Amino acid sequence: MSQPTNPHDTGLPGALTDAAEEVVRRVQRSLVVLHNGRHGVGAGVIWSRSDGAGAYILTNYHVVAHGRQVRAALEDGSEIPTRLVATDEEIDLALLRIEQNGLPPAMVADSRQLRVGQLVLAVGHPWGQRGAVTAGLISGLSKAQTRGTRGEVEIIRSDVRLAPGNSGGPLVNASGAVVGINTMIVGGDQGIAIPSHVAQAFVEQATKG
């Protein structure tokens, strides 16, 4: 007679499961829900601490573009107003500031080190499901045409399943470090993210001086 499966795996499968759960918990601590008035919900990443009080949150431009007052819901459930610091519609990024101390910034990896076939995870709030995780592989590292002065922007393509609510959330590697900011779906099965090195350059430009 067969025995019921133990939900707590042991050995190598259990170790891998525990490691994956720890990665997800680490990422979720730096994840926020962004409420943009009546225009729905998006995600944001606590990117860095401010030189003074508070912290910076990175998200997509299209998440905050039409909201007069964007509020950030933290991991503990509290909601705090944000202040818009900078936007770049062409690369679909926006930087917010929140006056809250002690928030844990995400680990950020250099996306220029990514390779096709690498495992990545997307963390966000698809269809309002807070902190949901999907996994996939990087399928391409390329450039997309834009309508602005840049002419093109670097992008990460993956088969990670994205949905409304993932916008502005992190794409992370197997160590839980952010390698991109999820921004859109194309063709129904391709997730597009802005590389973390592009995002970091945007943040540095927005906060210098």
Which of 61, 87, 105 delimits the end of a domain? 105
Q: Is residue 68 part of a domain?
A: yes
User: What are the per-10-residue average pLDDT scores of the chain (209 residues)?
Assistant: 53 67 90 81 91 89 87 92 95 95 94 97 92 95 88 94 94 96 87 98 91
Q: Domain check: are 134 and 183 in the same one?
A: yes
Q: Domain check: are 138 and 97 in the same one?
A: no
pTM for the structure as a whole: 0.89
Q: Is residue 119 part of a domain?
A: yes
Q: Domain check: are 97 and 116 in the same one?
A: no
Whole-angstrom distance, CA of residue 12 vs CA of residue 111: 29
Q: Domain check: are 121 and 53 in the same one?
A: no
Q: Is residue 84 part of a domain?
A: yes
What pLDDT is stored for residue 9 in this prediction? Answer: 59
Phi-psi domain of 160 (left: phi exceeds 0; alpha: psi -120 through 50; beta: other): beta
What pLDDT is stored for residue 15 in this prediction? Answer: 60
Number of domains in the chain: 2
For residue 63, what are the domain limits? 29-105
Q: Domain check: are 119 and 198 in the same one?
A: yes
CA torsion, ordered 158, 163, 167, 170, to nearest 10 deg: -50
What pLDDT is stored for residue 6 in this prediction? Answer: 54
Which of 87, 105, 123 delimits the end of a domain? 105
What pLDDT is stored for residue 185 in this prediction? Answer: 85
The CATH number linked to 59 is 2.40.10.10
Q: Catalytic amino acids?
A: 62, 92, 167
What pLDDT is stored for residue 77 in this prediction? Answer: 85
Q: Is residue 86 part of a domain?
A: yes
Which of 74, 105, 136 delimits the end of a domain? 105
